[in-house]
Amino acid sequence: MSSAKAPSYLTVLRLPGAARTFGAALVARSAYGIVFLALVLTVERATGSYAVAGGVLAVFGLTSSLLAPYRARLIDRHGAHRALLPMAVGCATLLGLFAAVGWQPGASRAALWVLGAAAGACAPPLGPFMRTLWRELVADDEQLLQRAYSLDTVAEDLLYVVGPLLTGALTALAEPALAVLSSAVLLLGGTAVLATSPVAASFRGAVTPPDTGGERASVPPRRQRRWWVGLVDPVLVTAGLGACMGAFNLLAVAFADRHGAAASVSWVSAALAVSSALGGLLYGAVRWRLSTRTRLPLLTALLGVFCVLSGQATGMVGLVALAGAVGFLMAPTLTTAYLIAGEVDSESRGTEAGTWVNTAFNTGNAAGSAGIGLLLSPLPLAWCYAVTGAFVLLPAAIAALSGTARKIGRSNPGDIPPTAATLNSSEGETPWRE
């Protein structure tokens, strides 16, 4: 790192159009902080079955996560007005119908399943799109981009802390279906303001000119086909990070139960959330000398070590302290992964590339929770924490080895095709242009 003064977060928010664009995006994204718990409570109230509620949540999450990169591709190709806004209209309408169907007990289970799956299939990838807009806003300033991404990651984490609290309040005051309806209103209203902001309005997607033998034709077809190669490291790492966090949260419950302190498990969640916010803000404030592809395996490996050490905690105080260390590295790791994803063909696939990182994390999170649940009975708790650490240590090792291979390739440029060398480069100048 360097001692040179980095731009402040206030500088980021003072960029022309940044406050309005980011504020609208946060309003729209707050819907996702509310809707997951709201769906569970609404379905349980309407059907009396947590099994049905879990199934509806699962299909909503699956269609939302697995189809997100393809929805992002539509935004990259067609822009905010022609792709993002229609997605928000469709998703908000379906959530409104879901709230209407689930408002009273005795609702049709089949209708709730179909509406939940359809709403997830339409959910707009707001986070990745906002990160694409950040690149437009900072105008090639790497320090401002790092600040912006850190601020974005921390804000997104906080939305998932505040959202369930709002859902609980709405459920206590009225009906859980009101929380689903509120998420629909926030999603549609926030996205409408976002899509009509000058920054988003100027983003009209990738324009594919006719093949006249000019600049477009000069781009090697191999590079067009292999744009995803640069995504391998961040996708692997975030999939492992998602699996790690999904397992870590479940293990915290098991740890607290075995130590007779089940009520104290909330302190683990609080330590993860608070320390992640602090770590993300501090990370963005530092002017790093190490490249993003060097930082990614280092941060990930350190996080994995703290996960393994958590299995050696002798009580809740020790576990909370180690959870704080894990959380402190979580936002920086995600921010670094987003920065690398932003370097991959950002002129035509920026939103899609960032969405693959999100999809990897969400898929890994579900797999980690399910996988560690199967291991809790046959394995001691300490070994389960070791497995959890391995979820991120293995991808960190792969990313470190691939980084070494890239350095060797750059030192011997004749050994690899020029297009592959250019595609995988992350040192020196950034490979994208605004």
Instruction: Specify the CATH number for the domain of residue 337.
Output: 1.20.1250.20
In a shared domain, residues 155 and 263:
no
Q: Check residue 179 and give its pLDDT.
A: 92
Range of the domain at 285: 221-424
Which residue positions in the chain have pLDDT lower than 50? 2-3, 207-224, 413-434
* 181 and 56 share one domain: yes
Tokens of 195: 């899509």
The answer to whether residue 4 is domain-embedded is no
Same domain as 260, residue 353: yes
pLDDT in the model for residue 215: 42
The 3-state DSSP class for residue 287 equals: strand
Domain annotation covers residue 328: yes
| Domain presence at residue 3 | no
Q: What angle do CA 388, 157, 269 make, to 5 degrees?
A: 50
- pTM for the model: 0.80
What beta strand segments (E) does 26-118 contain?
none
pLDDT at 6: 61
Does 417 map to a domain? Answer: yes
How many C-alpha atoms does 241 have within 13 Å on its Cβ side? 30
Residue 215 lies in a domain: no
Three-class DSSP category at 2: strand
Residue 145: CA count within 13 A, CB half-sphere:
22
Question: Cα 346 to chain center, whole Å?
Answer: 17
pLDDT of 346: 54
Flag whether 2 is in a domain.
Answer: no
Q: What is the pLDDT of residues 289-333, one digit of tens each?
A: 889 999 999 999 999 999 999 999 999 999 999 999 999 999 999
- My answer on whether 228 and 186 are in the same domain is no
Are 262 and 306 in a shared domain? yes
Specify whether 250 is located in the same domain as 310.
yes
Residues 139 and 164 in one domain: yes
- Count Cα neighbours of 311 within 13 Å in the Cβ-side half-sphere: 18
68 in Cβ contact with 363 (< 8 Å): no
Are 242 and 148 contained in the same domain?
Answer: no
pLDDT, one tens digit per residue, over 224-265 is 456 667 788 999 999 999 999 989 988 988 888 888 877 778
Does 105 fall in a domain? yes
The encoded tokens of residue 322 equal 């180690």
Residue 338 domain-assigned (yes or no): yes
Whether 411 and 360 map to the same domain: the answer is yes
Whether residues 398 and 252 share a domain: the answer is yes
If one counts the domains in the chain, the total is 2
Length of the chain: 434
Q: What is the pLDDT of residue 143?
A: 85
- Going from the C-alpha of 115 to that of each of 30, 57, 102, 110, 179, the distances in angstroms are 20, 11, 10, 9, 16
Contacting residues for 389 by C-beta, under 8 A, at least 6 apart: 244, 304, 305, 306, 307, 308
- Domain closes at, from 204, 229, 244: 204
Do residues 248 and 107 share a domain? Answer: no
Q: Residues 280, 353: one domain?
A: yes
